[in-house]
Amino acid sequence: MLTVEHLTKRFGGLTAVDDVSFTVEEGDFLGIIGPNGAGKTTLFHLITGFLPTDAGEVWFKGKAITGKKAYQISRLGMTRTFQITKPFGQLDVMENVVVAALQQSPALREARERAEEVLRFVGLGAYLHHSVTHLPIGLKKKLELAKALATRPSLLFLDEVMGGLSPDEVRDLMDVLRKVQETGVTLVMIEHVLQAITELTQTLLVLHHGALLAHGATVDVIRDPEVVDAYLGEVEPDAVH
């Protein structure tokens, strides 16, 4: 489904993403972990067309997409959520998702139907006409997910969707992500909440100083002493449940 080869991004003297190569198989749920500043978000920006690469190639479903713009890549079926949610404050919950749905279906009626469908799917059915500015963080994250799903992705990138959520909200969102996977969407998730990584992902990739430190089955990678040293040792104890 996705092939990333030798992807590299420099910011001045800093190599934020350093010669990263990996593949994602259809139906996989891939986790990405690594300390703050490891280059995780930048890697997403490069793959999904939000930043130009300095070197390397990306293929999606066999097609070279390096250098394509984010909206072109989104139309091919690859989309992402943002670590910091920025909904349109003047629009209500439903309208925010309609804007996203219009990317795939320019017909307003269809876009509205799709928006309502995904909002019910993520559990925001009771908030269709609520103001987005007053939504609590847990629901804002669901709105972010609904916007991404409205574009009908076959490959979805999630950037710390669990960040700032309570344990109940984490469990709730994990259930939603399981349902997303069941609908046939391939998922790639950057996440610091280890419970979500261990329970949801089959494959795990660890970034450290922009480079790939480990990549393999989650159960194996999570026990790798090098990974524990570089990352897991730094995690607050209460996050490791």
Ligand X SMILES: Nc1ncnc2c1ncn2[C@@H]1O[C@H](COP(=O)(O)OP(=O)(O)O)[C@@H](O)[C@H]1O
Question: Which residues of this chain interact with Mg ion, rule CB under 5 A?
Answer: 40-41
Q: Does 161 engage in binding with ligand X (CB under 6 A)? A: no
The minimum distance between CB 202 and ligand X, in angstroms, equals 21
39 binds, among ligand X, Mg ion, none (CB under 5 to 8 A by kind): ligand X
What DSSP designation does 71 have? Answer: H
What DSSP designation does 92 have? Answer: B
Paired tokens of 77: 């079926």
The minimum distance between CB 17 and ligand X, in angstroms, equals 7
Beta strands across the sheet bearing 55-60: 14-24, 2-11, 55-60, 63-64
In the complex with Mg ion, the residue whose CB is nearer, 41 or 53, is 41
The minimum distance between CB 190 and ligand X, in angstroms, equals 7
16 binds, among Mg ion, ligand X, none (CB under 5 to 8 A by kind): ligand X
37 near 15, Cβ under 8 Å? no
In the complex with Mg ion, the residue whose CB is nearer, 41 or 186, is 41
Q: Does 31 engage in binding with ligand X (CB under 6 A)? A: no
The minimum distance between CB 84 and ligand X, in angstroms, equals 11
φ/ψ bin of 125: left (φ > 0), alpha (ψ from -120 to 50), beta (otherwise)? alpha
The minimum distance between CB 237 and ligand X, in angstroms, equals 21
What residues between 51 and 80 interact with ligand X by CB under 6 A? none
- The rounded distance, in Å, linking the Cα atoms of 205 and 50 is 21
In the complex with ligand X, the residue whose CB is nearer, 60 or 231, is 231
Single out the residue of 185, 184, 163, 183 nearest to residue 173, CA to CA.
Answer: 163
120 sits in which H/E element: helix 108-122
115 binds, among ligand X, Mg ion, none (CB under 5 to 8 A by kind): none
The minimum distance between CB 207 and ligand X, in angstroms, equals 6
What residues between 6 and 25 interact with ligand X by CB under 6 A? 11, 14, 16
What residues between 33 and 52 interact with ligand X by CB under 6 A? 34, 36-42
In the complex with ligand X, the residue whose CB is nearer, 14 or 107, is 14
- The rounded distance, in Å, linking the Cα atoms of 41 and 47 is 10
- The rounded distance, in Å, linking the Cα atoms of 103 and 136 is 26
70 near 234, Cβ under 8 Å? no
Paired tokens of 216: 């393999």
212 CB-side CA count, 13 A: 18
In the complex with ligand X, the residue whose CB is nearer, 10 or 112, is 10
In the complex with ligand X, the residue whose CB is nearer, 40 or 141, is 40
Q: What is the binding site for ligand X (CB under 6 A)?
A: 11, 14, 16, 34, 36-42
